[in-house]
Structure 1
Amino acid sequence: MSTDGSKLRVGVIGLGKMGVMHACILNTFPHITVAALCDKSVLMRKIAKKAFPNATITDDLGRFADLSLNAVYVATPIPVHYQIIKEVYDQKIAPNVFTEKTLSSSFQQSQELCAIADNFGVNMVGYMKRFAVTFNKAKELLNRCVLGDLVSFEAYAFSSDFAEIPEGSKISMLRGGVIEDLGSHVVDMAVWLFGDLTVESATVNYRCTPLSEDDVTFYVNGFGGLQGKFEVSWRKRGYRMPEFGLTIHGTMGTLHVNDDELRLELNQSPPAKWYRHDMDDNVDFLLGGPEYYRETLHFFNAVTSGQHAVSDFCSALKVDYLLEQVREKCR
């Protein structure tokens, strides 16, 4: 809630799958009003008007400037994040900004946005896996050093989104490439769990078109000699939903973690296992996954308290830096 007890006014930019989901989740919070929605699609604006009859519905972001918004959500395709976020700040549309990942399409653009954001309120990038119970449990175990010294890890991000897309199709390019769209989540997980990483080598396969970036494998080094391998693809068959996971090796054992479970295998102990449904994975409103609700709650707790969000622009900049390294190694 705002400091004077009134509702927080929020605008959502982009009404694709993620924008609609965010708008619906925001609408369940009693201290938040979805005051404005922006999209280029006539059809989506008509649908939005029925769902949010009291909101300003527009295809012109400039109309947001006079609406006294407390925050905006940016849920457009990645290639236009920079342009839109910069306009939000330049036009002083709202002091607090949440954007879907990645922050932008390049490390240079993200650096610029971080510098601009320092003059405004709370900012956050939607790396929602930080709010998943399984990955939080993994971080807790690593903070307790249950694996001893960390030696290596393997990380993956797989989906079947384009498994059946024929060669020559340009549809995957609209989402900015697999490393940004899918791989950024598991890269953020690794940076969150292990700290700064350096890319040693990388390979990319362009299966749909010469520029579509559909499968990426890369190797990294981290603190204390830690070595890691990432595999990212949106052309893997058999994945009804995107899946993210890591296997982490230490001197005292191994930890396996994905969206649904953890398995801890210590050298001198029987294995231990935790399942997502046994870990109090409950929220007040479920849409898309519990982590999306927790992410929203965290953002607005930060807005009302004036504290930093856990996945703020500066944190997300580390992900963009790693992705930039991957691209350079692939050239």
Structure 2
Amino acid sequence: MASTTPTLDQFPEELLERILAHSIDHTHIHAHAPRPAWLRSPTGTQSTRLAPLLVSRQLARICTPLLYHTIHLATPAQAHLLLRTLTAAPSLAAHVRCLSLAGLWRDAAEVMRMCGQGVRVLDVTITNNDEDGHGQGEDVTGLWREALGGMTGVRHLTLRKPNNVYLSLPRPRSIINALASAISGSDGWTQLQTANIAFKLSDDTPTSPVLSPTNIFVPFSLSTPPPPPTTTKSTATNGPVTHLTHALACAPALHTFATHLPSVWNVAILGVSANPRLERIVLYSSSSSASSCIASPYAATQAQAQGIIGTGLFLMEARKHARLGELIRAGTPILRTRARTMGSPCPSPERKEEGREGRGVGLGLGLGIEGVQV
């Protein structure tokens, strides 16, 4: 009786999906920098992630959700091409689970609106201008507000901004306000579990001694004294950071909050610590890898193993607040200063003998034993 060799289509589809996930891996795409144009591939024929989709209809049906699971849009052209693809085949948007956007482009907002509630991981980089040939110079704040409001299935959020983008400018302020409104809205992000703010938060309340609300384009100008504090509970006069921290403090499922370690004390992180469901606060330095990694369910806790030095001005003031200090200790390893000191020089032989004699005398006096020899 001749033995029959099993073919690929006889394998269970669940097993094929696990095997093909390694060839269409969505986690290694952005782990390394792209290969330079002058550096050739070590192999003669360069394989692509699209190759399994061209084998058969069965593999194409299995690989399509894997291919669209994680989408990273680094340029406006990529956002425009993806929007054109999703417009032609709207069913593909249902496969997107992780969405990373390197800019605030109009086409990127349209992609977010089409993906909607299916996105679980969202990574957004705040930029100051469109940098896009499609709708350049057009105010897309309303479109972004609508897109963020419809993404109620987000569980892991990462918010970034370059160093040359200031939160005192109109566009970053409007986007952060739109994000805060989406989180705390009536149909808000009730499933949000982790939030990673990959830049230093600053206090922008009306009574802040650093930021004057009447001079928002000069964030560190103290030419105009701040107005007296008001007794109203409305947050309309609060800045975008305060609006965002209030929204995170009300998120019902948020258990992990991560951000850069502030240089000086401010009440932004203290406001987030008021969330009763919060379990840990992860603070990391600007050079930590957690601020540059792609959004993932574990991106907010990747800096825990590095730790921070516990002698900064912010940590010294944070110890006065019991709830905030407890959350920081739960999520951030604090390194003692002695652990970072340089090694002392080796003592000379004469000092070694003196040290041995001193230890012998101390041992005899401390224990009350006569005739102790070293």
Whether these two folds match at TM > 0.5 is no
More strand by share: 1
Structure with the bigger RCO (C-alpha within 8 Å, sep 6+) is 1
* Alignment TM-score, normalising by the size of structure 1: 0.32
* Alignment TM-score, normalising by the size of structure 2: 0.29
- The structure with the largest alpha-carbon Rg is 2
